[in-house]
Structure 1
Amino acid sequence: MGSGRLRVRDPHGWAHCLTEAVQLFGAATDVVLASHHWPVWGREDALAFLSEQRDLYAYLHDQTLRMINQGLTGPEIAERMQLPPALERAWHTHGYYGSVSHNTKAVYQRYMGWFDGNPARLWAHPPAEAATRYVDFMGGAGEVLRRARQSYAQGDFRWVAEVVHHVLFADPGNTEARALQADALEQLGYGSENGTWRNFYLTGALELRHGSVGTPATTASEDLINTLTLDQLFDSLAIRVDGPRSWDADVTVRWHLGDGRGPSTLRLKNGVLTHVRGLGPAGGEPDVEITLDEPALRGLLLGRAALADLVAQGRARVCGDPARLAELTGHLTEPDPDFAIVTP
């Protein structure tokens, strides 16, 4: 299940597949090569590895559902979940990458979603607004930090991280809160067996001390973009539309790519960018039609080429008002890879 931060995977299905793998290939297996693990050599050890992995995922899945049916919530189940001794003794079931706590919550999320059924959490204030109220109720930032320092001295770093979080979201510039929270997160990181948790804790401490570090990764690399279909590329543009700013926009652009392919139509209306193969809804007239090849279209949509330049180079033909394309793309926003994690 990995870190559980992407789409929640199916541990029940994975356990079933491992059982099937043992049944189909166990008698002929000499080595197992698995992600996040060293290879396992020898048939006996390989089958034990596969079987214990199967039992691990099945246990987490089945016991989470058992406790859901007893009325427990995700965090409550994660705190109670304990592996059987035989699985606990196996080195490869330990939380070096994923963790029992993290994955248990992911199982809960898969079946129950974000809401745990308690109406007190149905319409809670967002973090910054809630933090201001928490700090006020707890006697102000100074009192929260005084008591948090006592908890830190007692080694209750989880509680320090939880309560000082409220001070930071109420007052991100509070230097005492930033220092204490960074120290608490650092201690939690040092004590974490799980690599991804350790990275979260230590990155949070780094951010508090030195500012947001962002990410060196980019989702707009040439190699990645080239693997997207045009439909996927249009979808990637749709999630960049600034909805509120484009509520009143109504722009239709039709693309002609040649090569025997029919037209593709983009329409921005009601803050939604829709794309269809063909003439579009009801076959209405577009504001602008542009004929070009696919590489030129990709460059245009990604901001790597200008329409006027493509026309001047003979790589594009325009029928209608080209300013309407600029109007459409003007409603797109750029992702921010440097957003903060531990401050609002």
Structure 2
Amino acid sequence: MAQASEARVIAHGGGVWSMRVPIPDNPLGYTLVHLMETDRGPVLIDTGWDDPGSWDTLVAGIAACGAEVGDVHGVLITHHHPDHHGLSAKVREASGAWIALHDADADVVRRTREHAPARWYGYMADKLAAAGAPAEHVAPLLAARDAGRTPRLPGLAPALPDRSIVPGELLPLAGRRLRAIWTPGHTPGHVCLHLEEAHPAGLPGHGRLFSGDHLLPGITPHIGLYEDPDDATAVAPSPSSRPRPSGGDPLGDYLDSLERVGRLGVAEVLPAHQHAFTEARPRVRELLTHHEERLTQLRTLLTEPRTPWQLAEHMQWNRPWADIPYGSRNIAVSEAEAHLRRLVKLGRAEAVAGSDPVTYVACGA
């Protein structure tokens, strides 16, 4: 394929490109969709947000790499979020490409497709009320649900995958050595993809890593809760023999996954946001330290009983709580709950018996 010259497309060498596919009205700006040559044809790693402008950018980006969208042989999805999986169905329709996803995220996709938006509004309202959210925050969700005014939310009709990404196995890509690394935390089925080939520029290290949202150069990925309306794995281990994360401790899953990625010793990381970078191990250490410091700060806040909502109100964010938009507050509470669960599992916090909504307090040494 030809050398890419489009401003939004970067040639990384060794038959790998990245394309900036915009995310409408989002501070992240874009998803880095990667294209990788194989002997069977180009394969995409993620696809970007389902939006007409994003689709046009993706098609133009593929063309700048010297191919056409109809040439795409397969689509590998790092995780099910709409800025990664949103355009997968359109790519498949245009090319006949297969779509592959880890089974844990594929299960989320199936459940997501089965429920009407009203079910999700009610579920979110119940979760927020249980976390101690004030009635005025929960009321708009209940009003929209009860009045039938529930517009379809982004990502509620994602494409069903055709194949499973199996952790630890080499993916069946002709002429390439790409191994799936299961990295739950950001989602239950998030995967990084390890290109076990010498770096094209001769950089020292063991290949390159397509890291999705797991490892980013300047952003700490959101770690919230895994639950959705029918997710039994949130409260009990799945009887399935397939690999599953611990639904009750997403932050613990993420920290374990970080250490696993750090041990790979890759020469370069190709993330889904921001830019490629080479300092994987130092970045892993930064993130591990960040979360340990955050847990320590939260434990200090729990010298008095607090609900997850109250904890989120007092946590350090990138802006004052009063300035955080409605939807972002919901995400913040989910992140507070993920950290609480980690503290409880470590024996550093506990629920206060009889409290409703449930409050938590620090305990142990």
User: Could you say whether these structures have the same fold, taking a TM-score greater than 0.5 normalized by the shorter chain as the test?
Assistant: no
More helix by share: 1
Specify the TM-score bucket, using the shorter chain as the normaliser: under 0.3
More strand by share: 2
| Alignment TM-score, normalising by the size of structure 1 | 0.24
* Structure whose alpha-carbon radius of gyration is higher: 1
